[in-house]
Amino acid sequence: MDAADIAASALILGIIVVSLLSNVVVLICFLYNPEIRKQVPGLFILNLTFCNLLLSVSNMPLTLVGLITTGYPGGSGICQVVGFLDTFLTTNSMLSMAALSIDRWVAVVFPLSYHSRIRHRDAVLALGYTWIHSLCFALVATCRSWVGYNQLYASCTLCNARAKGSGTQFMVFTAALHTLTFLLTLIVMCVTYLKVLKVARFHCKRIDVITMQTLVLLVDIHPGVRQKCLEEQKQRRQRATRKISTFIGTFVVCFTPYVITRIVEIFSPGSISPHWGILSKCLAYSKAASDPFVYSLLRHQYRKTCSSLVNKALKRSPTLMQNIFLHPTG
């Protein structure tokens, strides 16, 4: 192993640890808090957590072993199963993110009719579609024997070498897979979240107008209070933008290099550096470690649940632990 392989191995190991711990915490919060279970987004987050956990215990460790041993140590049967899971879990997680963005869009744009528009039955139907969609692509790739150990990514995944007899079909399949998963999800997320941001900014502007009118009426208000109100206005606008940027930005940063590499791999005759291939795979894996923080653990409800769990485990003062989780220092 050279220095790059050692660094990649350490990176994957870190991703595995963070992904397992964070996703397990999300799962525990879901099981512990009945309010989270009652919410429709909780079902999408549960499905996303399931995909991330399964990816962390199946594909990631075998990629780590592939890096260390410079080859896949298992048999072809195991590699077929892991390759099936790679396609299925990645596709399923992407579509779950699209479903979450649609749910947020309906909640913000149609707040009064949200509960009649998005019900648990609708969420179950949406999840059923994500599973069928993901299974179709994974089953086609497995049945056509297009999954195997790909040295470029040190992983059991879609493999060009196993599709030599059906090169055109494999190209069409790969293009369709990434168009109907990555590109579709990206378009849905951009459209829905940008609409959410537009509505959020509109509401912030209305609040700003009311605030400024109030400040004009209160002519005797202390300058420090006036300045604090103006700073809070700015923070509200920045907070909305930051959240939307995080949702879309993490998706683009984590998945785009891997998807572009896969497309270049099948359409370009030139060779791709294995270091870049492994790095792009690590970035894709890192989405499983970041999802719990992006969608769950940084939210007030999950932080409050975590504080309650820590209180029970350590028998600390509830007020003290809630202050630590809900108002972290630094």
pLDDT grade for 162, boundaries at 50, 70 and 90: low
Residue type, 311: N
- Top pLDDT among 164 and 177 is at 177
pLDDT, tens digit, 9 for 90 and up, residues 27-39: 999 999 899 988 9
pLDDT of residue 241 exceeding 50, the answer is yes
Q: What is the pLDDT of residue 318?
A: 55
The rounded mean pLDDT for the chain is 85
- Top pLDDT among 11 and 4 is at 11
Q: What is the pLDDT of residue 257?
A: 96
Cα 180 to Cα 12: distance, rounded to the nearest angstrom: 27
pLDDT grade for 198, boundaries at 50, 70 and 90: confident
Q: Which residues lie across from 156 on neighbouring strands?
A: 149
pLDDT, tens digit, 9 for 90 and up, residues 281-293: 999 999 999 999 9
Q: Which of 183, 189, 157 is nearest to 88 (CA)?
A: 157
pLDDT of residue 164 exceeding 60, the answer is yes
What domains can be seen in the chain, in order of their start residue?
3-304 (1.20.1070.10)
Other C-beta atoms lying within 10 Å of the C-beta of residue 199:
16
Cα 322 to Cα 201: distance, rounded to the nearest angstrom: 30
pLDDT of residue 225 exceeding 80, the answer is no
DSSP annotation of 164 reads G
pTM metric for this prediction: 0.85
